[in-house]
Amino acid sequence: MTTPVESTHQLELVGVEVTEALGERIGESAAAGLVIDLRGELGAGKTALVRGLARGLGVEGMVRSPTFMIVSLHKGPISLLHVDAYRLEDPAELALHGWDDWLASSVIAVEWADRVEAILPARRLRVDLAHQGVNVRTARICATGPSSRDGVALVYERAIVC
C-alpha cells in the first residue's frame, strides 16, 4: 500500500529569468503525463514558469496565458497543454477541451489549478508562487499524491531538489 505524502521544497526566485529557468529545468526532466498545478495571485509568475517549461520541452513559439481561450496547445517533441482555469465555473468544462486525451500524451500546466482541483490527478507537481517584493517571488513546490518512483518523483528530484 502506498502512503500519500508531499515532498516539499521552497525556492526564492529573483527576477523573471530565474522563474523561467525553473520552468525550463522542469521541462527538461518532464515526460508525457506530468500535470503541473500552478497557484498564485495575479503576477506571481505562473505564465513565466510555463514559458520556461515550454522551452525545456522543446516547444517553439510564443507562450501566453490562455485566459480567454482557456486552453492553448503548444506542439513539440512532448506537447504542452497550457490551461488557465481562472474563468472556469465547472472543472468538467476541461473535458470539452480534450483533457482526457491530453492527460496521457502531453505535459499539462494548469494556472489557477485550485479552481479545477476535482479533475486533477492526485499525483502531480504543485507549484505555489507568491510575491515577496519587487522582482522577488517564492516557489513552494510539492510532489503530491502517493509516493512512487514515477515521472513526478523524477522531475521533482532532477529539476527541483538537484
Q: Where are the beta strands (DSSP E) in 15-154?
A: 35-39, 71-74, 79-84, 106-111, 124-133, 136-144
Q: Is the pLDDT of residue 5 over 60?
A: no
From residue 14, how far is each of 100, 132, 136 by CA, in Å?
A: 36, 9, 5
Q: Is the pLDDT of residue 136 over 50?
A: yes
Q: Which of 139, 158, 144 is nearest to 6 (CA)?
A: 144
**pLDDT of amino acid 51:** 95
pLDDT-wise least confident of 96-105, 124-133, 134-143: 96-105
Report the CATH number of the 7-161 domain: 3.40.50.300
Reported as a pLDDT band with limits 50, 70 and 90, residue 4 is very low
- Judged by DSSP in three states, 126 sits in strand
Per the DSSP assignment, residues forming a β-bridge with 82 are: 72, 109
**pLDDT of amino acid 162:** 57
Q: Which of 153, 31, 156 is nearest to 104 (CA)?
A: 31
Higher per-residue confidence, 88 vs 117: 117
**What does the pLDDT average to over 150-157?**
85
**What does the pLDDT average to over 9-37?**
94
**What does the pLDDT average to over 50-78?**
85
Q: Is the pLDDT of residue 96 over 80?
A: no
Higher per-residue confidence, 149 vs 52: 52
Reported as a pLDDT band with limits 50, 70 and 90, residue 158 is confident
Domain boundaries in the chain? Answer: 7-161
- Judged by DSSP in three states, 103 sits in helix
Higher per-residue confidence, 107 vs 104: 107
Instruction: Confirm if 22 and 139 have CB atoms less than 8 A apart.
Output: yes
Summary mean pLDDT of the chain: 87
**What does the pLDDT average to over 65-90?**
84
Contacts of 92 (CB under 8 A, 6+ apart): 119
